[in-house]
Amino acid sequence: QVHLVQSGAEMRKPGASVKLSCKASGYTFLGYNMHWVRQAPGQGPEWMGWINLNSGGTKYAQKFEGRVTMTTDTSINTVYMELKSLKSDDTAVYFCAREGSGDYDSSFDYWGQGTLVAVSS
Amino acid sequence: ESVLTQSPGTLSLSPGDTATLSCRASQSVNTNYFAWYQQKPGQAPRLLIYGVSSRATGIPDRFSGSGSGTDFTLTIRRLEPEDFAVYYCQRYSGSVWTFGQGTKVEN
């Protein structure tokens, strides 16, 4: 059974950084790309970027270029997302989401439970 | 940048009704790369429909997707109490994924 388990809630001050983790189990980790999606309170999901777990290659949404870094530790089936220079409007729930393969390509078939990041002075 | 506009913002219905949700794209969509998700409070989105009209594993057949080009529809027949939630459309194009702002189906 596929599981994506994310790290716990974080509180940061403006200007700080946060690094979140997402541990995968129940499937061949290297066989799928992993994405990060965030959702501000009362808003729709917002795609942040993805990482190719085989190559480590990344693609970030233009909005986050220069502030976000996605990495992976394949020895423990874990993906990380670091966001720097935090602002109050970065307050959101952050999800990791697995991109499906084959016919499911480009859709997100499994999601983590989400991590709340609160940014406040 | 491609934008997805969902309508209506809120749909007020009763169990047993049919819900028709719309999603309009500002640019034409490759039909292989369009999906719908359901989200309940405090939960992650759940994939319902991929490739415009294919149901994800375990999704009941009262959920159906249709459309092409720039106009897409999610239809939920015979609404069950557990179907009252927020629904999002999503597309992929040019290495960018985009979500709509959501339609809330309320009782």
A63-90 mean pLDDT? 97
Question: What residues of chain B lie within 8 A of the CB of A35, using their CB?
Answer: 97
Tell me: pLDDT of A80 over 90: yes
Q: Minimal CA–CA distance to A106: which of A38, A62, A47? A: A47
Tell me: pLDDT of A105 over 90: no
- What is the maximal distance between C-alpha atoms in chain B? 39
B89-98 mean pLDDT? 92
Question: What residues of chain B lie within 8 A of the CB of A103, using their CB?
Answer: 50-51, 54
Neighbours of B27 (CB within 10 A): 14
Give how far A47 is from chain B: nearest CA, Å.
Answer: 6
Q: What is the pLDDT of residues A3-56, one digit of tens each?
A: 999 999 999 999 999 999 999 999 999 999 999 999 999 999 999 999 999 889
